[in-house]
Amino acid sequence: STYNAALSLYKQRKWDEAIVGFEKALELRPNDGPSKLYLERSMTYKKNPPGDDWDGVFVMTTK
């Protein structure tokens, strides 16, 4: 699926490609919560990449 492909790119730290993929997934399913969430996270990580030891887990820094 489009979402799974984008998620794979996200886990590979390919932020730009993941963003495009999640945007495409949202075109197909505009209310898809996981696509919205990972789109936001991809944008965040593009601006502020995680450390080398990143395992795909998103760590909240603010409440």
pLDDT higher than threshold 70 for residue 63: no
Q: pLDDT band at 37, cuts 50/70/90?
A: very high
Give the pLDDT score at 55: 82
> Is 55 part of a structural domain of the chain?
no
> Is 56 part of a structural domain of the chain?
no
> Is 58 part of a structural domain of the chain?
no
Distance CA 6, CA 59 (A): 20
Q: pLDDT band at 52, cuts 50/70/90?
A: confident
Q: Which residue segment(s) compose the domain that 14 sits in?
A: 2-47
pLDDT higher than threshold 80 for residue 21: yes
> Is 60 part of a structural domain of the chain?
no
> Is 25 part of a structural domain of the chain?
yes
Average pLDDT, stretch 37-57? 91
Give the pLDDT score at 53: 86
Number of domains making up the chain: 1
Cβ 16 vs Cβ 46: under 8 Å:
yes
